[in-house]
Structure 1
Amino acid sequence: MKNFFLLFFCLISAQLLFSQVRPSIDKGLGGRGALGSFNQNRDSLPDNEIKVKLSGKTKYTDYKIISHRNDTTIVDTTLTLKKHYKFNFLRKDDFELLAFHNQGQTFNNLGYNFSNISQFPNIGFRAKQFNYFKIEDIDYYHVPTPTTEIMYRTGLEQGQVLDALFTTNFSKRLNVGIAYKGIRSLGAYRRSLASTGNFRLSFRYESPKGQYAIRGQAVNQDFFNEESGGLTDDSLIAFINDDPNFSGNRARLDVNLDDTENTFEGKRLHFEHSFKVISVKDSLQQKDFSNLKIGHSFTRDSKFYRFNQSSPTEAIFGDVNVSGAIKNQVNYLSYNNQVFLDFNSKYVLGRFRVKSDYTTYNYGYNNLQNSLVGITRNRLKGDAISFGADWNGRVKNFHVNASANLTPGSGRLSGNNIKAEAFYKKDSVFTFKTRLGISNKLPNFNFLLFQSNYNKYNWENDFSSVGTRTLGGDFSSKWGDASVDITNIDNYTYFDENSLPKQYSGSVNYLKAKVSKEFKFGKFGLDNTLMYQKVANGSDVFRVPEFVTRNTLYYSDNWFKGNPLLVQIGATFKYFSKYKANAYNPLLAEFTLQNDTEIGYPTVDLFFNGRVRRTRIYFKADNISSFFFKKDYFSAPGYPYRDFVIRFGVVWNWFI
């Protein structure tokens, strides 16, 4: 199947390469300001700001990326320090994450974000979903010529990461984008192979007069990992003591599991279309200032998780009810249909939407996995009707975005979800944002029902709804950036030291404050980010390090005559204070509490980055500090962080 997609991609690219007219592209592409300072809502832009000129000189501002929320940015080919932070297999800044040694594996959390909680419970198995593309992660495009981006990054020992995107407008009104990200990396330790794939297809279309619009996405994702269970006790001692028999070849170290693997897969089909019923134009400016739209969206989302083991390991997971291979699989299927009414007018200061959803779900196992534990139900099914409203308003420099959803009743999908943010932007001087979030919903389904051939890993729970309330704010300016979030959680749900699901009887109170500032000294820069966290109540079940810091000292300059090469050379220091980091359970694909090991250490990375035209080249020496710091760097108890390794990568854009 993967080879088929690759062949299809090559054929489409070749066909378009020989069939498209090539307008000239302005040299500003990849120059200063290629990415807007803040996202703009497409519905609030005048027509002349969103239409692409297909004749004459093509400018870099014509290559647009449109998010699921209709925020518009520009294809960015610059080389910045923020791009350096995002050059990993997630393609996101992982400041608040602690990676396992091999890319494609999971992450431990150094901090948490509760500002974007989903409306309904999900399947769970959260350790497998850091690289999972949600609906809001899929972008749409509007480009005057076929556009391609390739990201390549070397793996660990054997393998690589490749993320390829191709998008084109077949007309002014129809765009199609196709992308695939594949990862295969062997890893330095035994049983740490990671192999994942993310296929994404998106499209958007508008009728000639803008009366009808449709956009959609089809996503197919799979995540496979060999699971080691961490190092054995003897191997841990050898690692910490830097035994020379193992320092040059980590594959010699023994691990707890030698025949275990888990897989997570997801398939999603989503589309949204609308019809403009009423449209009134301003006679002077000839743009819409009042319109009424009726629309519908559909989502089919299927996921499954599988745990395979050739023979049981009772020393790790406890008693088992079979003597042969273990194959436990759970699946989840949901359908969502939404009808909505949009009203866009200067009288409501933006766009107002009322909506209603009908959602069904089906979670569980094809049959009972264990007859010894007394569980009689193997599936959870249900449906629900929801009601909600969204408002996106703007008055000059003041913006408001709000969303409210209510699911009445007593079913597993019942609850409410409210999000609101307001921000004020003063030109390029500063931006101030406040946000509020209120959520009440049941925990993920794997907390409610779980079955396995291992006797301990079977439960059927009737948990209470988890109530989450978050209040926060951001301040961004040329003098620095700062953010504060205060979160209160009732009935916080977690896995305890025995890997069993529990709900905390009290309230968890969590404070997270972050500040960042970059100092420039000619061709040198010093970028600093500091995060402080405090758990005022519930620290025995909710654990984070008190301090996390990242400091990057770098040199940036144009080399050679005519400035063909922009370089960045620097070092990044990262440190987090000691805390009892959660342990990883490969059977659950979740993190659990532990009270035996504290983790916290500094790392130093070196990098050399360059840009030639629209190509960015990255060289990075990970954890060079392993040569002179103690061997106490772990991602989770029993799982060492990566040793020194040199990585190479490139990001390349083509504009045909």
Structure 2
Amino acid sequence: MRYIVFVFLLWGSVAFAQNPISTKKDLGSKGEEKPGKVLAKGEEEKPSVEEYKIFTIKKDTTFLDTTLTIQKEYKYNYLRRDGFELMPFANIGKPSNRLGVDFDSESMYPSLSTSALTDNYWSVNQIKYYNVPTPLTELMFKTTMAQGQLLDAMLTFNMSPQLNISLGYKGFRSLGKYNYDQAESGNFTVTSNYTSKNNRYQLLAHIAAQDVTYQENGGLTDGDTQFETGDDEFTTRDRLDVAFIDAESIVLGKRYFLDQQYKLIKKDEDSTSSIIATSIAVGHQFSYETKFSKFNQDNQYDYFGDTFLDETNDKAHLQTTYNQLNTTFSNKLLGELKGFVGIYNYNYFFKSLLITPTGTIDNQLRGTEISLGAAYSKKIGEFNLKGEAAYNVSGDLGGSFLNAEATYIYKDKHKFKASLHNESKMPNFNFLLYQSNYQNYNWQNTASFDKQNINSLNFQYSSKPYGTLSAKYTNIDNYTYFKSTATEEQINNGQENAYIKPFQESASVGYLKVKYSKEFKFGRWALDNTIMYQNVSQSNSVLNLPEFVTRNTLYFSKDVFKKAMFIQTGVTFKYFTAYNMNAYNPALGEFYVQNQQKLGAYPMLDFFINGKVKQTRIYLKAEHFNSSFTGYDFYSAPNYPYRDFVIRFGLVWNFFS
């Protein structure tokens, strides 16, 4: 199926790229505008890049960007987003530990979780929609660690000025360098957006089918002598001993989404009269999603403890349906006010019932949640105000949430932003109820766990001359986490993972994060810097993060080959202070708190050469080239090393027609 989709997309790309576009605003190699050409008699003026619009359900519209910048270098990865606050494992696509966290969630209801496995699982808010004057295709390719590739292909076209359709597939496979460490995933999406000719009816819809499959090896069992010593015998990484070679984690989900709106009253502003633009619209949003997480293992291992059966096939299911009815009043003078009622149905279940000497652990959590909410936005001069709130009036899982944001732009150079967030909801489902073939991995906490309450306040200032500075403080009540209850003797025997349990912290946890970014330019040279400071105030060590994280990139930019190509080349340095880094549990697909081993305080250096030819960006990188001479102490989690020196390359290619 994956290869069929890829061939179809590639065929469409080539077909639509037969007639290259000549843009109204001709772009130079760096992406800057050149003076437009004089059109010959009868020649049509072609659309500009700005007319190729990209947006999400939040209506945060951007346009196609084919420039080559240092920010594009940071985002050219498996997740296609900046990984400054992530510490990835050795193989591409495997879990990433957190160097920084953000507790503001998109939903007021719990998720299935397996949070370590779902970094690449796209939520409703991450799905992109398009509006393009001519067909557009984007191909992103990148090599992986061994025996595999990463391809992200997208084709979008307007069937008419009102109707757009897009097809996308992101496929990935990498064998990895360590024994039994293969990872693969697929994200298939179909999106559509429609606006009627009279602009009264609008529709957004998408279908998303996503899956990820990981081979799990439990990490190194003798890292002290085989990995950290740098012994030449073990520089071929598949020679290192791992905990097991017969386990597999799978996450699969399918979603159908629809958002539609119809304007009952639509009055456009009339410059010749006193009429103020006003509209009243009714809307409906629908989402249906099925998702499961699965952990398979052929044999029993003391690593996870005793089992009921020899073979493990743990599988958790979640089915959700969400319907929202809303009414929106929009007036140029008063702003936009939206009121809504939401109905959320959930069914979280296991296909088994566990009866123990101490009681029965249920196999299902099922119910209906009803919420009321409102949202408001208004622009007043250079001020932009936004707010949204919802409260659960029926049901046990959800509580409430409140988001408020104010933005002010001073003289088009300085941007100030202040926001606050409040939420209250139950922890994710795998904290509340879990069943497993491993005896110690069975619990039901629906009665004993309380709702997790999060309050955060964020300030941000950004300007081109002075950079971007943000400060965010978060207070968490009933912080929920996983932790091992193993004794020191059990930990020394390699049985720490056999005693993982969910916990709630009774005392409040305070978390401060301050981040500053600034680029300095010296002719063709530039130095891009990002530094982050974090401080956690807590009675017990339940939220562990590094105090400092820094990333500094020194690079050189220039047009070459008579300006036919634009290149950027340089070195990126990344470092974070040592801390009690969270450990990884494969059976749950979660990170858990550990306070026995501090990791970090090692440098990571990457050398890159990137180039741009017309609408194609080419990337070549020597990742972690210092791995062999700065010490083999680079771990992403206890027993899970970061990657060794590797050279990888790829490209991003846009086709127009």
TM-score normalised by the shorter chain: which range applies? over 0.9
Closer, same or farther in 2 for the Cα pair 1:228/1:113, shift >3 Å? same
The one-character-per-residue Cα deviations of 1:265-308 (angstroms, maximum 9, x if unpaired) are 11111011111100112222899821111010100011100100
Contact 1:373–1:458 (8 Å) recurs in 2 = no
Q: How far did residue 29 of structure 1 move?
A: 4.6
Contact persistence 2:29–2:613 (CA under 8 A): no
Residue 655 of structure 1 corresponds to 656
2:262 is equivalent to residue 275 of structure 1: yes
Q: Counterpart in 1 of 2:279? A: 291
Is 2:443 the counterpart of 1:459? yes
The alpha-carbon deviation at position 16 of structure 1 amounts to 5.2
Q: Distance in 2 between matches of 1:175 and 1:592?
A: 44
**TM-superposition CA deviations, 1:591-620 (whole Å, max 9, x none):** 111122111121111101110111000001
Q: Identify the residue that residue 415 of structure 1 maps to in structure 2.
A: 399
Corresponding residue SS for 1:500: strand
Amino acid at match of 1:293: A
Measured in 1, the distance between the counterparts of 2:220 and 2:355 equals 29
The residue number in structure 2 matching 1:548 is 549
Give 1:203-222 correspondences, 5 Å limit. 203-222=192-211
Q: Please show how residues 566-577 of structure 1 align to structure 2 within 5 Å.
A: 566-577=566-577
Give 3-state SS (helix, strand or coil) of 1:114's partner.
coil
What stretches of structure 2 of length at least 5 have no aligned partner? 34-42, 485-498
Greater alpha carbon shift after TM alignment, 612-621 vs 426-435: 426-435
| Cα distance in 2 for residues equivalent to 1:503 and 1:97 | 25
Q: Secondary structure at the match of 2:303?
A: helix
Query: Are 2:296 and 1:308 aligned?
Result: yes
Partner of 2:639: 638
Find the aligned partners of 2:338 and 2:636 in 1 and give their Cα distance.
44
State the Cα distance separating 1:4 from its structure 2 match. 3.6
1:136 aligns with 2:163: no
Question: What SS class does the counterpart of residue 430 from structure 2 fall into?
Answer: helix
Instruction: Write the letter of the residue equivalent to 2:470.
Output: S
Contact residue 276 and residue 333 of structure 2 kept, 8 A: no
State yes or no: 1:473 paired with 2:471: no
The correspondence for 1:450, drawn from 434, 438, 459, is 434
1:512–1:531 Cα contact (<8 Å) kept: yes
Residue type of the alignment partner of 2:458 = G
- 1:356-376 residue CA offsets vs partner (Å, 9 max, x unmatched): 011100001012267567334
Give the C-alpha shift of residue 636 in structure 1. Answer: 0.2
Task: Report SS of the residue matched to 1:624.
Answer: coil
The structural deviation recorded for 1:15 is: 6.4
**TM alignment of 1:575-590, pairs within 5 A:** 575-590=575-590
Q: Please report how far the alpha carbon of residue 309 of structure 1 lies from its aligned counterpart in structure 2 after TM superposition.
A: 0.4
Give CA deviations for 1:190-247 in whole Å, capped at 9, x if unaligned: 11100100111110011111121111111000010000100012x4421100111011
Provide TM-score, normalisation by structure 2.
0.93
Distance 1:448 1:116, change over 3 A: closer
Which letter maps to 2:314?
Answer: N
Distance 1:376 1:195, change over 3 A: same
Q: CA deviation at 1:158?
A: 1.4
Q: CA deviation at 1:60?
A: 1.4
Unaligned runs of 5+ in 1: 36-53
Q: 1:374 to 1:141 in 2, by over 3 A?
A: same
In 2: Cα distance, 1:55 partner to 1:128 partner:
50
C-alpha distance in structure 1 between counterparts of 2:176 and 2:531, whole Å: 31
Query: Which of residues 363, 371, 377 in structure 1 aligns to 2:362?
Result: 377
Tell me the amino acid that sits aligned with residue 581 of structure 2. Answer: A
| Residue of structure 2 in register with 1:599 after alignment | 599
Q: SS of 2:359's equivalent?
A: coil
Instruction: Note if 1:510 corresponds to 2:511.
Output: yes
Matches within 5 A, 1:142-221: 142-221=131-210
User: Which amino acid in structure 2 is aligned with residue 502 of structure 1?
Assistant: F
CA–CA distance in structure 1, aligned partners of residues 523 and 415 of structure 2:
26
2-structure distance, mates of 1:342, 1:110: 40
Aligned partner (choices 488, 500, 508) of residue 475 of structure 2: 488
Q: Is the 8 A contact 2:108 2:398 kept in 1?
A: no
Matching residue of 1:344:
330
Alpha-carbon distance in structure 2 between the residues aligned to 1:15 and 1:626: 44
- Tell me the distance in 2 between the aligned counterparts of 1:433 and 1:372: 56
Asked whether 1:353 is paired with 2:338, we answer yes
Matches of 2:207 and 2:531 in 1, distance apart?
Answer: 39
Structure 2: distance between partners of 1:71 and 1:267: 25
Paired residue type of 2:475: N
Looking at structure 2, the residues matched to 11 and 607 of structure 1 have their Cα atoms a distance apart, in angstroms, of 31
Tell me, yes or no, if the aligned pair for 2:387 and 2:405 is still in contact at 8 Å: yes
CA distance in 1, matches of 2:197, 2:480: 51
- Say what the alpha-carbon RMSD is for the aligned residues: 1.9
Structure 1 residues 60-119: Cα deviation after superposition (integer angstroms, max 9, x where no partner)? 111111221112111000000000000100000000010001111000000001234421
CA 1:17–1:151 in 2, change beyond 3 Å: closer, same or farther?
closer
2:22 aligned partner, one-letter code: S
Q: Name the amino acid aligned to 1:621.
A: A
Report whether the alignment pairs 1:321 with 2:304: no
Instruction: Give the AA of the match of 2:454.
Output: T
Q: Distance in 2 between matches of 1:294 and 1:117?
A: 23
Which of 371, 379, 384 is equivalent to 1:399? 384
Deviations 1:515-570 (A, max 9, x none): 11111011000111110000022451001000000010001111121x11111110
Contact map agreement 2:584 2:590 (CA 8 A) in 1: yes
Q: Distance in 2 between matches of 1:201 and 1:137?
A: 13
DSSP 3-state at the match of 1:496: strand
Distance in 2 separating the partners of 1:5 and 1:329: 28
Alpha-carbon distance in structure 2 between the residues aligned to 1:391 and 1:92: 29
Match of 2:24 among 9, 23, 26: 26
SS of structure 2 residue aligned to 1:317: coil
Residue identity opposite 1:584 in structure 2: Y
TM-score by length of 1: 0.93
What CA distance in whole angstroms lies between the structure 2 residues aligned with 1:483 and 1:477? 12
Residues 117 and 439 in structure 1, CA contact (< 8 A), matched pair in contact too: no
2:423 to 413, 431, 439: 439
